[in-house]
Structure 1
Amino acid sequence: MKALGIYGGSFDPIHLGHLLLAETAREELGLEKVIFVPAAQSPMKTHRPYISNPDRVALIRLAIRENPAFAFSEVELKREPPSYTVDTLSFFRQAYPGHDLFLLMGQDSLNTITGWHHFQQLFSLATLAVGVRPGFPPQLPPELEAYRTPSARSKGIVFFHNPEVAISSSAIRERLRTGKSVRYWLEPEVLKYILANNLYIE
């Protein structure tokens, strides 16, 4: 059965760390495609995105355009916030009934997942695929042990290698705000768009 990776986040802005995680997951998990899903408003964050939704979508388009295995969806941007992952997975489950779904995330997201909206339902909709950084063994919170292996209520949890890249969207925003270089942190066309439109300057 074909497999899709669902990769949600603020992508504010999308950077090379996001792309590396997605490409590594695609290769290691045998995913046909990875779909980037920008959130309108993450319920885990107290602030809205720093730039407009059209600008974030434009940056994602530029970042992924040369990889035919990457796509994006505006499904969360078309719903009223906050963006709940369980609703997004339900959408993709209906849209791709013949595919296995993998929800891509980092270890930090896994550690907070029990605080997500209806988190138990996530496991029945998709396999959780967790990127693990070099030198850090996979860690599964005790309360998630019951979901580790596939069962009637869980698609299971798998781990893949997440290359160590010390890049974050917050650090990029701060460097742009203070006039520092973010060259090699972003796809060149993404950086061009940001500078041409004076994004993240204020």
Structure 2
Amino acid sequence: MKIGLYFGSFNPIHIGHLVIANQMVENSDLDQIWFVVTPHNPFKKKSTLLDNHQRLEMVYLATKDYDTLKESDIEFNLPQPNYTVNTLAYLTEKYPDKDFSLIMGEDNLKSFHKWKNYQVILDNHHIYVYPRISTGTIETQFDNHAKIHHVEAPIMEISSTLIRNSIKAGKNIKPLLPEHVWAYLDDMNFYR
């Protein structure tokens, strides 16, 4: 089984995440997409994150009605800060019957050469890339690479930051969130 790993803080998960994941599974050879909720991204302030399990719950609520999308807390028990290369090694050992690939936006591919042990990742895993509006260029070493696959998907300019700021400002952002996630956020008074 081919699993695409979609890493993120998902603070909160929104319809843009679901659209991208669904496009990936429907328009590639991936069988499932696992939303890997990251407990702490070294590039983000930890103070802005909701509790790990609250974010995992939102991902569960957003994906529970889809057979091909699922939540994953695999990084919760790995040493922090964690790096993608370590998570991939752990998953490959834990699930030897599954073939793990990465899902990333074009913006991340542009900085992929700066990732810890990026060459190890590329040697052992495929990468599925979706379009993003961003500046900069993709390293020439990644042009026409056999393990990097560009998948057509709508360009989603929805961000979790926009959602958090809009909620704080009292704006109605309900259409940007899966119904169950909106109900959970509203009930818990998150981001207000």
Task: Report matched runs for 1:70-81 at 5 Å.
Answer: 70-81=69-80
Q: 1:71-91: per-residue Cα shift (whole Å, max 9, x none)?
A: 122111122321211111112
Structure 2 partner of 1:33 = 32
Structure 2 partner of 1:186 = 177
Q: Does 1:172 align with 2:172?
A: no
**Contact conserved, 1:10 with 1:49, CA < 8 A, in 2?**
no
Aligned residues: 190
**Contact conserved, 2:104 with 2:128, CA < 8 A, in 1?**
yes
Task: Report matched runs for 1:38-117 at 5 Å.
Answer: 38-117=37-116
User: Gaps spanning 5+ residues in structure 1: where?
Assistant: 150-155
Q: Does 1:148 align with 2:145?
A: yes
In angstroms, what is the RMSD of aligned CA positions?
Answer: 1.9
* Distance in 1 separating the partners of 2:22 and 2:108: 18
Superposed displacement of residue 29, structure 1: 1.1
* Distance in 2 separating the partners of 1:102 and 1:48: 30
Aligned partner letter, 1:160: V
* Distance in 1 separating the partners of 2:165 and 2:48: 14
**Contact conserved, 1:26 with 1:32, CA < 8 A, in 2?**
yes
* Distance in 2 separating the partners of 1:105 and 1:192: 28
**Contact conserved, 1:7 with 1:104, CA < 8 A, in 2?**
yes
Instruction: Give the 3-state SS of the residue equivalent to 1:184 in structure 2.
Output: helix
Superposed displacement of residue 59, structure 1: 0.3
Q: Does 1:200 align with 2:191?
A: yes
**Contact conserved, 2:4 with 2:33, CA < 8 A, in 1?**
yes
Q: TM-score, normalised by structure 2?
A: 0.91
Q: Which runs of 4+ in 1 moved over 3 A?
A: 46-49
Superposed displacement of residue 164, structure 1: 2.3
Structure 2 partner of 1:153 = none
CA 1:160–1:68 in 2, change beyond 3 Å: closer, same or farther?
same
Q: TM-score, normalised by structure 1?
A: 0.87
Aligned partner letter, 1:61: Y
User: What is the identity percentage for the equivalent residue pairs of Structure 1 and Structure 2?
Assistant: 29
Q: Higher helix fraction: Structure 1 or Structure 2?
A: 2
